[in-house]
Chains A and B, each alone.
Chain A
Amino acid sequence: MSVDIQGLSIAIGGVPIVSDVNLHIGDRSRVGLIGASGSGKSMIARAMMGLLPPTATCSGSIRYEGEEIIGMGERGLADLRGRYVSMVFQNPGSALNPVLTVMQQVMLPLTLHFELSQAQRKARAIAMLAKVGLDASVGSRFPHQLSGGQQQRVGIATALVGAPKLILADEPTTALDSITQRQIVRLLVSLVDEAGASMLFITHDFSVLAHATDDCYVLDAGRIIESGSTRALLDQPRTPQARQLVHAARELTLHTAPDEATASSHKKERR
């Protein structure tokens, strides 16, 4: 599903959080949205779900295949959520309801949006769990009995079980360790491609972004400061903020940053 965001501005209690954001996600494409904490990434995702807090004011336009969702009624939005657009949350532990079993949570979008028998729902949910690499026995467990990686797999299964056309992944790997991060990103990318859906991948971590997306937007203090192919951005970030994010990602993944590499080679030459 293609998404067109034009001049999106969000303010909470008069304080601007996001201003004049233009963003395009093509059909079946994976786009990244990167920015430091507090830059307004999650607010854009919430606006795309129609889930902004009641104190927020929102202007501009968000169109899904030409259909405007800003100002859309609660009924229309409820029909959209989980069926056409769904979300993978940052913290898998808190995004799963502690008193419902995994199976109940994965079946929820099916119950809401599809006319299926209980047996069909179960079969579909179990198949979805298998796709995210979880055994059917996990279905009868409660979220606190799973590891963080397993919880996020359940989150992905819940998001994808209704075969949505757009996935909003709001920092889906931030709360996980680096090995699990890589597994989860690979899983998400393969499932999104397999389903023929589009994805907006929100993160503050360029190293994750490179695996997950082709194009990306850099958000700083609520404004898009840079956009283009993820590869090009990683190689040659133009703005200082983007450069900072790239350097941070390099340092943490044990690659040397370009500046440091040249500096150390200079030292060697002097010796």
Chain B
Amino acid sequence: MTVLKSIWAHAQGRYALIVLSAWVLIAFVSLLWTPHSLWATDGYHVWAAPSADHWLGTDGTGADVFSWLMAGSRTNLLIVVLTIGVSAVIGLLLIAAMVSSAAMLSGVTVVAVDALISIPTVLIALILAVPMDASIAVIVIACGLGYGLNLARVARPQALLAARSDYAEAARAAGVSPLRVLVSHIVPNALPTMSVQLSLSAGTAVLAESGLTYLGIGVPSGVPSWGHSLATSVKFINVYPLTVLWPGLIVTCVVVALNLFGDALREAADPVANPLLRQAQVRQAQPMEAAVVQPQSEQVVSQPPQPKQVRP
């Protein structure tokens, strides 16, 4: 909650929150309601200008542009969420291998990531499209892989710094297992870098959807998406520029929002950078302090601790 408040406190963060929540809201509304049916085509009113009936006009088949963009928002949301999920998992696994104490494993991973990162995402998508045809999975796998590699590459120094830090060793010295050191001590310290990279990736995923759909290997025809709306009208940009403008505008607004959101999130989620977060921790601690004064807590402390495993 405090994190959201801190993001809201800045103009950029506020813009990002408004655009992103509108996106999510519209995506869910589109499941239940759109102004017109997606398949209600009207041969007499193709490329119509915006009007009271068709708020953003109609496309080349006479279908309502606004309805298609509304329905498209849920496809794009799905793609972004899945892509971020896949790339986060791939990125974290690679980071775990890169900071591992096994020199062989980390060495091979670093070289492999550097080699694989040079393969363009579009090329991976083109290769995947051969067996899989145009589908959302092509975008998710290609982008997830590409961005996962990027994430590992960008977050590696931060993670390495945390892995070799005194506090990671202190955690080991307290008896924390290597896996738990990774999960609860190394990753949280690399998270600010990772959150920025992931939100940039989210923006790029929206762009990639448009690009790959335009190439015919992204969202299959008939499935609404912003890329689909762009791809079907872009040939007529000289004649009916408005039809291209709307999806283009939405993609731009959303990508900007995602990028700004990453910056705002990093500022807000870092206790070192965000004083509000520190105050929240102090406030949470108040009732705990009150508990100390009670005499029974003193009793608890005076009892000898019971270890989980008893050693000879």
Contact = CB atoms under 8 A, between A and B. Distances in A.
Given A49-B173, A141-B278, A103 B102 contact: no
B169 A112 contact: no
Contacts of A80: 175, 311
Nearest to A123: B297
A142 B272 contact: yes
B189 A98 contact: yes
B112 to A, nearest CB: 21
Contacts of B29: none
Nearest to B100: A54
A137 interface: yes
Contacts of B281: 101, 140-142
Chain A residues touching B, range: 35 or more
A158 B174 contact: yes
Interface stretch (B1-9, B75-83, B200-208, B299-307): B299-307
Q: Is the interface of B mostly helix, strand, loop or mixed?
A: helix
A112 B289 contact: no
Contacts of A87: 170, 173
Contacts of A108: 171, 174, 176
Nearest to B188: A99
Nearest to B284: A140
- Of A74, A78, A86, most buried by chain B (CB within 10 Å of CB) is A78
A57 to B, nearest CB: 15
B123 interface: no
Interface in B256-312: 270-272, 278, 281-282, 284-285, 288-289, 291-292, 297-298, 300-301, 304-309, 311-312
A50 to B, nearest CB: 9
Interface in A37-82: 49, 51, 53-55, 65, 67, 74, 78-82
Nearest to B302: A127
- The 10 residue pairs across chains A and B that have the minimum distance between CB atoms: A140-B285, A82-B175, A82-B174, A127-B301, A123-B297, A81-B175, A94-B166, A95-B166, A97-B167, A87-B173
Interface of B: 101-103, 165-167, 169-178, 185, 188-189, 191, 270-272, 278, 281-282, 284-285, 288-289, 291-292, 297-298, 300-301, 304-309, 311-312
